Amino acid sequence: MRNVIARSCEARSKAILKQAKVSYKAWVCCLVSCLISFQLFAQQNSDNQYKQPLVEVLKEIEARFGVQIKYSEPQVSDKWVKYANWRFRIDVDETLMNVLMPLDMKVNKEKDKVYKLKEYEYYRWDVEDGWAFLDQLATKYHDKTSWEVRKMLLKPALYEALQLAPLPVKQISKPIITQKRIMDGYTVENIAIEILPGLYVNGSLYKPLKFKGKIPLVLSPDGHWEKQRYRADCQIRCAMIAKMGAMAFSYDLFAWGESMLQFKYEDHRRSLSQTVQTLGGISILDYFTSLKEVDTARIGISGGSGAGSHSILMTALDDRIKLSAPVVAMSSYFYGGCPCESGMPIHFCGGGTNNVELAAMAAPKPMLIVSDGGDWTAETPQHDFPYLQKIYGYYGVSAHVENVHLPTERHDFGMNKRIALYDFLVKHFKLNATSVKDKAGKYDEGNCTVEPEKAMYVFGDKGELLPKNAIMGFEQLEKLWNKQVSTNVQKESRYKVAVVDLMILKRQKLSAFQLTKEIGADGLELDMGGLGDRETFDNQLADETIRVQFLTKAKELSLEISSLAMTGFYAQSFAKRPTYKKMVQDCINTMQLMNVKVGFLPLGVQGDLVKNPELRTPIIERLKIVGKMAEKAGVVIGIETALDATGELQLLKEVGSKSIKSYFNFSNALKNGRDLHKELSILGKDNIIQIHATNDDGVWLQDDPKIGMLKVKQTLDEMGWSGWLVVERSRDANNTKDVKRNFSTNTAYLKKIFQTN
């Protein structure tokens, strides 16, 4: 071994002496270095694990193999290699791997005999490894049904991994919008949307100068390039989309662009950036889907590089996106080199996944994959794209996924990449390409205005217009987020908000879940179906296939089923209906199959005990029977009566079943001139199973002077009650048909009161 070191010293000395104009001092330095290495070697043995400083080992590799290794002082400082000389092999690449792998480091080969030292890149795999893993994932499904099962497993897991299950309380503050600028065929205005208290996502909205009716929306998140959304190619792309007849919203990633008024660039390199960016995308969708001019059937997303990864994730998570076009982003062997792409454990979901499988979750919606030869998408056409075609083939729409590969181009959002996007939008969103093409039929971007950066600010040249509540710095964000997570935990055990499928016009329809998600509620009260002259309810949930679809969709969207409602008894007589046992048993059976613990039984018009006191005895006798049925099944039936709290409490005592409780309705007390808060207190927490939080159907809850919601919360807090607040109606009298807006407003208001400290 001593001969090895001696030969190394000799080789190193000769290498320096061969250099032109070498100084005697340099030669002496080399000799000293060799002597130090020799001394270190003399001290090495198995007792100290043959340890050597990494910097010395790298120099030895350079000398022995005649290569250059680039590195910085911080990369090698205080790092030691155990069993250093035992790691040498006859091949330089194998030697480097043996030395660096235990230190979680590697080298990139820049050219022949030139290497650059890198930290271990967990997000970058060998091509063959990426392909092999994708092939393994593909064995989990073989047709549409098995693929849908896989998707249903992945989606809720993604929300969990991002710490977005449940989602934070939706902000009800209005977006901050700057003055509109008029351009050639389009307009631009800057918008800031509050996504958490004091946390804003900023962007610029491009709209056609003239349009009628509803038009498409294309979300355009910005990638990891200089100048952010202020770049010329970004402005031009959005302007062209607007000139073709759609809206384009260009927005910043977290701690990027105008977001850097609140944060530092280093904050973008934190894992929470991925969560914040995703929440920003969801909040943006919440805002734009509330606008009457947005065609919700034509919402797309297209970002490049890191924003391409964001586009893939957003499409996988949110069904409101109907078209996806990630540019120079998707790869089976590259997971995104930034924490905003892979900082949270989304790739461990479902036992492990990758960006290609996540992209496939868009199927069967139209998807364009743009790749090039100058980055990690260079191999896309060979393996990843055929995989996507196979998934789309399960739906019989293989042509809905396209790949435009540009082998001679580099990592950017250049002209040819933009043309690919324009063509795809024209094809699937029916945009007007002729409005932006020249006489030769080529896209002409010449009439698009590239504005100065300052023109695109929301908060002024130096941030002087930042709202007073704006959080400043990552430390404040962490505190806010930790409080949010804590609030979510408290929310799980205290107050939750649901809506009624019947009242959102989605009675026993699967689409009720997506609408509930868009409304922002935590759960849904499902109706048992119509009754009429039938022997029992027209219950679609009795069909196992439909029932499984409902349960799967609820899990996918991280929603709960708060209760099953027998609303048929509103008009039918519970006291006289001969088949009441079968009806209630059908409801209880469905509750058991769906793991729902509360059933709603209104005594309704024909069971009004104030107007029809003679029905009291038969109703009590029937409720005793129902109570035994519910108790046997381990569920609770909540009844709604016309009695005041004292009368209802007495009724419950006469029934004498712990499985029959009050399903309290605000409107019953208020419309009869009773004190809502006293009524709640009289019944007490143990006798109220759920609450219908509603009153007059003509005014939103936040505008209803009769309720006093803050006092309601105080009363329920003092009682120690917890449970579901279920919104029935309380619609704006001037706009009763706008279901989403009415229920979103009421839900947001209840969450603001009951789910924030």
Q: pLDDT by residue (tens digit) across 686-711? A: 999 999 998 877 788 888 888 888 89
Instruction: Kindly list the strands in the beta sheet with 68-70, ordered across the sheet, starting from the edge strand earlier in the chain.
Output: 68-70, 114-119, 105-111
Residues in the chain: 757
Closest CA to 303 of 379, 369, 398, 245: 369
- Residues in a beta bridge with 660: 637
Closest by CA position to 633, among listed 675, 663, 682, 590: 590
- Listing DSSP states for 549-600 in one string gives HHHHHHHHTT-EEEEEE-GGGGTS-TTT-TTHHHHHHHHHHHHHHHT--EEE
Per DSSP, the residues of 138-155 read HTT-SSHHHHHHHHHHHH
Q: What is the largest CA-CA distance in the chain?
A: 117
Segments of the chain with pLDDT less than 50? 1-9, 11-13, 15-22, 24-33, 35-38, 40, 42, 491
The torsion of the CA quartet 79, 83, 87, 88, rounded to 10 degrees, works out to 90
C-alpha 647/C-alpha 643 separation (Å) is 5
In 3D, which of 197, 183, 241, 661 has the Cα closest to residue 419?
A: 241
**pLDDT, tens digit (0-9, with 9 covering 90-100), for 239-270:** 999 999 999 999 998 888 888 889 988 898 89
Q: What is the rounded (10 degree) CA torsion for 669, 675, 681, 684? A: -10
Question: Among 185, 203, 368, 182, which Cα is nearest to 288's?
Answer: 203
At CA 196, angle to CA 193 and CA 200, rounded to 5?
Answer: 35
Which stretches within 101-186 are classed as H helix?
127-138, 144-161
Copy the structure tokens of residue 19: 């250099």
Structure token pair of residue 40:
């270190």
pTM of the model: 0.63
Q: Are 642 and 616 in contact (CB under 8 A)?
A: no
Report which secondary-structure segment, H or E, holds 425: helix 415-429
Closest CA to 184 of 249, 243, 244, 246: 243
Residue corresponding to tokens 């009242």: 503
Contact 670, 693 (CB under 8 A): no
- 490: its two tokens: 């408290």
What's CA 302's distance to the chain center, in Å? 16
Question: Residue 377: helix, strand or coil by DSSP?
Answer: coil
Domains in the chain: ranges and CATH: 2-119 (3.55.50.30), 144-478 (3.40.50.1820), 499-680 (3.20.20.150)
Nearest in space to 659 (alpha carbons), one of 631, 621, 632, 640: 631
Burial of 570 (0-12, 13-18, 19+ CB in 10 A): middle
Alpha helices, DSSP H, located in 430-510: 474-493
